[in-house]
A and B are shown apart, each in its own frame.
Chain A
Amino acid sequence: MSTAIAELQESPAESRVNYLNATYGIKSWLLTLDHKRIGLLYLGSITLMFFVGGMAAVLMRLHLTEPQGALFEPETYNKLFSTHGIIMVFFFLVPSIPATLGNFLIPLMIGARDVAFPRLNLMSWYIFITGAALALYATLSGGVDTGWTFYPPYSAAFSHTNVVAVALGVFVAGFSSILTGLNFIVTIHKMRAPGMTWFRLPLFIWALYATSLIFVLGTPVIAITLFLLGMERILHVGIFDPAVGGDPLLFQHLFWFYSHPAVYIMILPGMGVVSELITAFSRKKIFGYAFVAFSSLSIAIISFIVWGHHMFVTGQSIYAGLVFSVLSFLVAIPSAVKVFNWTATLYKGSISYEAPMLYALGFIGLFTIGGLTGLFLAALATDVHLNGTYFIVAHFHYVMVGGAVMAYMGGLHFWWPKITGRLYPDMWARIAAAIIFIGFNLTFFPQFVLGYLGMPRRYAIYPSEFQVLNVMSSAGASILGIGYVIPLIYLIWSMRYGKPAPPNPWGAKGLEWTIPSPPPTENFETIPVVTEDAYNYASGAH
């Protein structure tokens, strides 16, 4: 970090010109080229999508309190789980950390004035909300019941729902991801400040770089796959129809070629956030920086050669099953490296338990459980038993919600003072974090048991002996829901009534903490010259 940091006046946010108040009016927001404002535009959009997808989940869990289904016809239930999956995966999780925190922070962390292509950045947001609007419209005007995986032949020939409209929404939103990934790759390669070598970058940047590789390499394939599905559905041409020589599994190969790496799109940025949180709240340099950096790249690369583990029981050849099973075990290794390194960072650190740290610690535990259960599923033999059951549902919610969403919440809280120039009430934040943790485990741990006992997923009814565990899960879901609403309230409250934030409320290392909260539009008065490694906390206890 530059040794000469100008004296920063700790004047209240309102009286100093920053990116929020530099220009006024709706046009200045809708036509902005400032990466920080674009990050906020995304924040608003994906928060909306999160609560829409969450509503679907609430309805599902309410319905599942009764073995014969409490609320809906099976056809409606099918639409609910499909909507929940599609919205949460494509319109919340995939963009979440990259488009909000990534857009806001990448130029700040590398010492740049903006991303490489600001107009492309704004266009990405417009493309995203177009896709989201399409998907929402299709959902509200009848929905889809194919599951978020759109498997033919059902989706191509038999479903009477709005498959093409939703697929089009996802197709369009995919281009938003591609452009964001492209922007990030070029920005990180070409716009680092003088002295900011690759190995001085914050690990959040490494994680987002790896994520961007997946965006760029994987997303085009789902685009073309949904295009082929749409053609099949509209023209009835039999690309995936066995009766005329097609293969439904070809769809699955092309679909999962993207969708498996997509799950790493969802978790890698979260891992990047956790690396930042663990170091900041242990006030200690990360253990094994290079290992953590390379593990992000390894996860991104290996994620592309394991997709067949989603197809062990759908008709894939045994040979391919063997190959994919072996490769799937590989991908656990870099994830484990990260968990070990975070733990070693905590050891003998000067730990404090503010809300962001609570989320980070929760991530480590819950991601570990989710990741380990993934290994059960990578083994062909156990997967035969567990596939299609609630075990899978629990596994991916542990990594996606217990992992990615917790990391997102932690990052949001950590950088909130920087983004808004306001402090939120930490007591409420810690209470919410605890409620989320308890609610989450109560929702999803019973589902591991349910799955192991054989309860199938995506079914609107179930045998009555599973009711107790289902009710437990639904109770947990209500607690989890409350847990998410509380931050919505105090974070919005803080934007107007929160205490003004100093430039570095956490005493953390990183270029973003050297500028005012909120930052000026041009980020840095002069581009800093970097002379130190990342996380250069004083060694030893404080």
Chain B
Amino acid sequence: MSDQGQQGGEHAVSGHVVPISTYLTVFILLMIGTGVTTWVAYIDLGRWNTVVALTIAVCKMILVVLFFMHVKYATGLTRVVILAGFFWLAIMITLSCADELTRTWEIVPQSWLQQTNMIIPMISRLF
């Protein structure tokens, strides 16, 4: 079988074939992301350093998942499985933090608005 063209890929007998150009593009983007993350770490952005680093990390993860792991061409069930994994991790972190970071709250929030106003500074302590 021949090399793939630039647009789209042909279908092999058992699965979608991703063009080499796509893989190379993703690779270069990942390397750029790594470079930017490292470079930004040496610049003082205060608490935004972590936000930038994690945002880039999430983008890199999405690129690896969609293209290297072929999720762009995968079934809905696969996506649900992946999302469930992250959602459950989020449950674990969020509800644990709901205790660990509220130990010093002297008053318990009486309303959603008050709760939100108390949570924001708490989350900013992570950065």
Contact = CB atoms under 8 A, between A and B. Distances in A.
Whether the complex brings A and B within 8 Å at their CB atoms is answered yes
Interface of A: 189, 217, 221, 247, 249-250, 253-254, 257, 304-305, 307-308, 311, 316-320, 322-324
Contacts of B98: 317, 319-320, 323
B102 A320 contact: yes
A217 B92 CA distance: 11
B88 A308 contact: no
Interface stretch (B44-52, B64-72, B103-111): B103-111
Interface in B77-119: 77, 84-85, 88, 91-92, 95-96, 98-100, 102-103, 105, 108-109
A217 B100 contact: no
Contact of A249 (B77, B91, B99, B102): B99
B92 A308 contact: no
> Which are the 5 A-B pairs with shortest beta-carbon distances?
A320-B99, A317-B102, A319-B102, A253-B96, A317-B103
6 contacts: A247-B100, A249-B99, A253-B99, A254-B92, A257-B92, A317-B99
Q: Which of B77, B99, B102, B109 has the most CB of A within 10 A?
A: B99
A221 B108 contact: no
A319 B91 contact: no
A217 B84 contact: yes
A319 B96 contact: no
Contact of A319 (B84, B88, B92, B109): B109
A221 B103 CA distance: 23
B42 to A, nearest CB: 28
A contact patch SS: helix
A250 B100 contact: yes
A316 B105 CA distance: 12
B75 to A, nearest CB: 10
A304 B102 contact: no
Contacts of B99: 249, 253, 308, 311, 316-317, 319-320
A327 to B, nearest CB: 9
Contacts of A250: 96, 100
A256 B92 CA distance: 10
A221 B96 CA distance: 13
Contacts of A307: 95
Contacts of B95: 253, 305, 307-308, 320, 323-324
A300 B110 CA distance: 30
B108 A217 contact: no
Nearest to A323: B98
Contacts of A249: 99-100
A242 to B, nearest CB: 12
Given A317-B102, A317-B105, A320-B102, A189 B91 contact: no
A304 B105 contact: no
Nearest to B104: A317
Contacts of A323: 95, 98
A318 B108 contact: yes
Nearest to B115: A319
Contact of A304 (B85, B91, B103): B91
Nearest to B81: A185
Contact of B88 (A217, A311, A318): A217
B105 A189 contact: no
A247 B88 CA distance: 22
Contacts of A311: 99
Contacts of B91: 304-305
Nearest to B99: A320
B80 to A, nearest CB: 11
Contacts of A305: 91, 95
Contacts of B88: 217, 304
Given A317-B105, A319-B108, 18 more contacts: A217-B85, A250-B96, A253-B96, A254-B92, A257-B92, A304-B91, A305-B91, A305-B95, A316-B99, A317-B98, A317-B99, A317-B103, A318-B105, A319-B99, A319-B102, A320-B95, A320-B98, A320-B102
Contacts of A253: 95-96, 99-100
B119 to A, nearest CB: 10
Contacts of A317: 98-99, 102-103, 105
Contacts of B84: 217
